[in-house]
Structure 1
Amino acid sequence: MAAMVSIIGGGVIGLASAYALVRAGYEVTVIDARDSLGSETSFANGGQLSYRYVAPLADAGVPLQAIGWLLRGDSPLKLRPRLDPQQWRWMAAFIGACRGSVNARNAAHLLRLASLSQNTLQQWRVDDRLDGFDWRRNGKLVTFRNADTFARARSKVVDVLQQQVLSTLDCARLEPALAHAAQGFVGGIYTPNEEVADCHAFCQRLAQRLEASGRCTFVLGRKVTGLRHADGVVTAVELGDEVKPVTQLVLAAGHRSAELGLPGLSLPLYPLKGYSLSVPIGPRHHAPNVSITDYDRKIVYARIGEQLRVAAMVDIVGFDAGLEPKRLALMKRQSIETFPTAGDYANGVEWAGMRPATPTGVPLIGASVYRNVWLNLGHGALGFTLACGSGQLLAELIGQHTPSIDMQGLTPRAA
């Protein structure tokens, strides 16, 4: 009989974990509080599979820069202090990680995981013929408005085969949709092997394959109300009045995993709220084909099928995922300034999501202080990018196989 694994969380991390486990021969149950899979943070994220731009937010100079941002009305960062010890602990740890040496070390960990994730998705696409989620290898262009910022970024380019430094004119030649806004930029860095896809559609395709495998059961619309445990082992999941026994348990419910209340399990997670606008593209529009990151405004643009996905903002404001009209209006205005003819902005669909982040920006993947509880959490804004590699690693760890990459820096710290 195949080993049994239960997963709490039906977003891209939980579903990629389930897919990797089923491929490895496990029987899997996915539990999610929502009636549909991939319907929260995975629903309308930026869509960029940005495998080489994975440096954590925490870096030298960021706290001082953030103070400047907070004094601006058009800031990409918003902080709303709360009487919440969790927020303050997270921010203190974040500030502690804002050192250049720490950032470089954590970026190396993320780069290893991102490379594995790109290779894993490629394997699934080829071996399993996994498709139907608007995947493209369209390249990514990071554009800069500030000469000093551009100079620093340019100095870090070490592999000219992977990254190309472009002038303002070169940027417009590469992506004609930038012609209108080219005068606002001083240059860019182009990475040809980056990709784009629809995260929500990817979740649906994984779910279809999982269901067809006969090895995966979905329990949807059922909130986990408690976890029963004894002697360092979780024995069952409580779903209201129903109790489901578990053999192995994976926590992949984003920042809500901390609400499950396992004694002794400390999860340094906090939601970073972000926003997106999905803009329909018609025959008369001129949307960029290359993915664009406006570095100084912290806005990303990705063409996903016949829509332009615009995503931006890091709001540290608590746990309310509601839409904030002022933030969305700012993002929309800046998008129209940059790409005025990219799509039908009047009919763009607005969205907000809560990205579960650790202070260091490095996710927690692996064993916990409970002998049968595993973590796949804290991917922040890189959830889609890192999902396949994270799921593959988790399947290897549960199966007691040698991980595909060095796990240094990725293994959860003891609580």
Structure 2
Amino acid sequence: MKQVIVIGGGVVGLTSAWWLLEAGFGVTLLERAPQVASAASARNGGQLSYRYVAPLADAGVPLKALQWLFDKNGPLRFRPEADLRQWRWLASFLKHCSAAVNRTTTGQLLQLGELSRHAMAQLETHVRLDDFAWRDAGKLVVYRSAHTFAAAASRPDAGLVLSAAECVAREPALAAAEPVLAGGIYNSGEAVADCHAFCQALAARLQAHPGFRAIVHADAHSLINDSRRIVGVRTNRGVLQADAYVLAAGIQSRTLAQTAGIYLPLYPLKGYSLSAPIRAIDTAPEISVTDFERKVLYARIGSQLRVAAMVDMVGEDTRLDAHRLATLTRQVRATMPHAADYDHIVPWAGLRPATPGSAPIIGATGYDNLWLNVGHGPLGFTFACGSATVLADLMQGKAAPMPLDGLSLR
């Protein structure tokens, strides 16, 4: 049995480990934190948005970004770094900001999303949906700008187009926001779930699998290479060795790859979330809601309202910013004032490892036994199962289940 070390214990690393086990590999999982799913997978937005996958880079985005930078309460914040990786990523991002590139990437991500939907359904035979609060909630994207709404509604694949009043009829939690809404677009089949609980349940299944060796909690420092192969992972607990290695360690992947001479075009997009308990008197949303202009996501996950938002380009800084959290809380109270108990909010911030074009990097490297599953940005939970199936097929020498143009290191 060929042995594999999967580096990273978030949702991407865990799903990679599972599909490799099912493909007949022996697997060891290497995670630096004391518990799996402690970083970007801990309190993310919880939306499984298989159809709402538009890349961040698009025509007009640079101008919008400039406007947001001058708005202290805007969805984007930028802090220049003395780090060439930030500027190299930004230069590549600007190259991706065209309508044609956006359309091509969106098509690829839609295929990966559909593959993920089917892969998640396969996993249901091993991990119970109730274990991670999965709900087929549907998704409603609401718009405040009439012009932006009209453009979105004119697309042939838009979904069900609703007026502001129809949005409120379908999702009463939006009643207070009706006067400022131009309309919305609804799609069924989109889900919400607790990513952290999903990871915990999947980790338990991994440990019961006959091909699984162990979860090793250690900090990976570097990849040891010998010409065309990786011969080990140097950690604070010594060197770990296997026949093959999978890099799925979120933003840490770029530093580890660099130790083997590989540049990964990843940047940590810092995002925030709020979790608030839902009481019997609250009118929490049943549908997954995205406030398009404000870039705020709302999802009911079990007995909690999860709100996720904002993109801070501030390097590997996970500190909670009081001003950003206050801004988000104000916006949430104005949009859904009766959805949850906002006096008992639990805030969170995490780093979402994104590529300039928003497409993940899956597959081979210049080393014949080092593989990648990185760069999922804010859609790690959405794409995790699909990208894991792609990785497992490639590592078995099979053809990928979808075209990988734009999804490989090349």
TM-score when scaled to structure 1? 0.96
Q: State the alpha-carbon separation in 2 of the partners of residues 129 and 32 from structure 1.
A: 21
Listed as ranges, the matches of 1:14-413 within 5 Å are 14-125=13-124, 127-131=125-129, 132-158=131-157, 163-240=159-236, 242-260=238-256, 261-413=258-410
Q: State the alpha-carbon separation in 1 of the partners of residues 288 and 215 from structure 2.
A: 36
Note the C-alpha offset of 1:14: 0.2
Q: State the alpha-carbon separation in 1 of the partners of residues 354 and 136 from structure 2.
A: 27
Q: State the alpha-carbon separation in 2 of the partners of residues 367 and 97 from structure 1.
A: 23
Letter of the 1:310 partner, please give it. V
RMSD over aligned Cα atoms:
1.1
Q: Secondary structure at 1:254's aligned position in 2?
A: coil
Q: Is the 8 A contact 1:234 1:246 kept in 2?
A: no
Q: State the alpha-carbon separation in 2 of the partners of residues 147 and 290 from structure 1.
A: 22
Q: State the alpha-carbon separation in 2 of the partners of residues 196 and 396 from structure 1.
A: 27
CA displacement, residues 162-212 of structure 1 (integer Å, 9 cap, x when unaligned): x10001111011011111211110100000110000000010011000001
Note the C-alpha offset of 1:128: 2.7
Q: State the alpha-carbon separation in 2 of the partners of residues 245 and 202 from structure 1.
A: 28
Instruction: Compare 169-178 and 232-241 and name the one that shifted more.
Output: 232-241
TM-score when scaled to structure 2? 0.98
Q: Secondary structure at 2:315's aligned position in 1?
A: coil
Letter of the 1:139 partner, please give it. G
Q: State the alpha-carbon separation in 1 of the partners of residues 91 and 142 from structure 2.
A: 31
Q: Secondary structure at 1:179's aligned position in 2?
A: helix
Would the alpha carbon gap of residues 23 and 213 (structure 1) be closer, same or farther in structure 2, given more than 3 Å must change?
same
Would the alpha carbon gap of residues 279 and 18 (structure 1) be closer, same or farther in structure 2, given more than 3 Å must change?
same
Q: Is the 8 A contact 1:237 1:246 kept in 2?
A: no
Would the alpha carbon gap of residues 217 and 324 (structure 1) be closer, same or farther in structure 2, given more than 3 Å must change?
farther
Q: State the alpha-carbon separation in 1 of the partners of residues 283 and 186 from structure 2.
A: 20
Note the C-alpha offset of 1:241: 5.1
Q: Is the 8 A contact 2:223 2:260 kept in 1?
A: no
Instruction: Compare 349-358 and 21-30 and name the one that shifted more.
Output: 21-30
Q: Secondary structure at 2:384's aligned position in 1?
A: helix
Q: State the alpha-carbon separation in 2 of the partners of residues 46 and 359 from structure 1.
A: 21
Q: Is the 8 A contact 1:62 1:98 kept in 2?
A: yes
CA displacement, residues 269-305 of structure 1 (integer Å, 9 cap, x when unaligned): 0100000000100111110000100001100000000
Q: Is the 8 A contact 1:273 1:321 kept in 2?
A: yes
Note the C-alpha offset of 1:214: 2.9
Note the C-alpha offset of 1:246: 1.8
Q: Is the 8 A contact 2:10 2:40 kept in 1?
A: yes
Q: State the alpha-carbon separation in 2 of the partners of residues 225 and 171 from structure 1.
A: 50
Aligned length: 408
Note the residue ranges of structure 1 that are not aligned, 5 or more in a row: none
Would the alpha carbon gap of residues 52 and 63 (structure 1) be closer, same or farther in structure 2, given more than 3 Å must change?
same
Q: State the alpha-carbon separation in 1 of the partners of residues 402 and 169 from structure 2.
A: 38
Q: State the alpha-carbon separation in 1 of the partners of residues 137 and 346 from structure 2.
A: 23
Letter of the 1:84 partner, please give it. D
Note the residue ranges of structure 2 that are not aligned, 5 or more in a row: none
Q: State the alpha-carbon separation in 2 of the partners of residues 145 and 344 from structure 1.
A: 25
Q: State the alpha-carbon separation in 2 of the partners of residues 405 and 155 from structure 1.
A: 28
Note the C-alpha offset of 1:75: 0.5
Q: State the alpha-carbon separation in 2 of the partners of residues 220 and 286 from structure 1.
A: 43
Letter of the 2:369 partner, please give it. N
Q: State the alpha-carbon separation in 2 of the partners of residues 192 and 243 from structure 1.
A: 48
Q: Is the 8 A contact 2:127 2:201 kept in 1?
A: no
Note the C-alpha offset of 1:333: 0.5
Q: State the alpha-carbon separation in 2 of the partners of residues 227 and 406 from structure 1.
A: 29
Q: State the alpha-carbon separation in 2 of the partners of residues 220 and 259 from structure 1.
A: 20
Note the C-alpha offset of 1:129: 4.9
Q: State the alpha-carbon separation in 2 of the partners of residues 275 and 289 from structure 1.
A: 21
CA displacement, residues 368-405 of structure 1 (integer Å, 9 cap, x when unaligned): 11110000000000000000000111011101112221
Q: State the alpha-carbon separation in 2 of the partners of residues 230 and 149 from structure 1.
A: 53
Q: State the alpha-carbon separation in 2 of the partners of residues 323 and 20 from structure 1.
A: 35
